[in-house]
Amino acid sequence: MISRKTCLVLLSLTLAAGGLSGCGQKTPEQKEEAAYDSSALGYEKTPEVTSVAVTAAGDLLVTGTAVAEGRVRLTSLSGQAYGVTAGRDGRFQASLPQSPGGSLYDLAMEQQGRLMKAEGRLFVPPAGDIDEPPRAVFMRVGAPGLPLWPQAPLLAVADYDAGGALAISGRTENDAMVDIELNGQKAVEVRAGADGVYTALIPLEASVIGQRLVIGVRSRQKYVTHPLTLRAPHAVPSVGMQDGLWYIDRPLVGGGTQVTVVF
């Protein structure tokens, strides 16, 4: 039996991935997706991160969009806040220090006296090469994380929780169909967006916490497989490495923890 809380998380993942028609149902194919946009739901558009680079000084140069001339705030996990003002076109840039264990930043915007938080949190593994974009990920709440670097692989990010929700994302050819396999069996088919980024919910019959899965992803020209251990989520925020992968635990406001894995 799937709990109501699990169903809500699963449904949220599903809506963002463009897939299931109801909690616990499988789908053989997911059609072309639309990017998640809070303004489509009647809300003011929240700030977004579009790219991350490394400066000559070793800091992170974060570029994004907000409302025109809006005040944007980026806050580290330790509580240190950095403020910048977006231009007339809504574009903003912020130079932020890196953390040796990976950098986490919350993104928010001041709008008419209110602080509007972004739909997730920015994570950037330690990076030092100014000629290579870091493996930055925008980790969305209850939705698949989005790889921000242009050279992101076919399998770049995975998200899961203790209740049995599992989603992945990556980058491929623009508008390409992508087949996802789980332990050698076809699980779902999705289409990448115009920017080459795809997200997909992998249907599971039950929680597989503690198990080691093999995820396969096939596009027009590539096929990759990668093992993924779904270790038990932590009850407190944490960042660490296991089997060469980054694991980021984020407790959710309504209960439970979402884990993001960066390949």
**Per-residue pLDDT at 44:** 63
Helical segments of 95-135, H only: none
Spell out a b/e string for 26-35, using b for 16 or more CB atoms within 10 Å of the CB, else e. ebeebeebee
Q: Read off the tokens for 104.
A: 């986490």
Residue pair 51/93 in contact (Cβ under 8 Å)? The answer is no
Spans in the chain with pLDDT lower than 70? 1-44
CA distance 120 to 168: 16
Which domains are assigned to the chain?
45-134 (2.60.40.10), 151-262 (2.60.40.10)
**Per-residue pLDDT at 76:** 95
Per-residue DSSP letter, 8: H
Phi and psi dihedrals of 211, rounded to 5?
A: -95, 160
**Per-residue pLDDT at 115:** 86
Place of tokens 């439970």: 256
**Per-residue pLDDT at 232:** 96
pTM of the model: 0.82
Of 1, 2, 5, 18, whose CA–CA distance to 143 is shortest?
18
**Per-residue pLDDT at 61:** 98
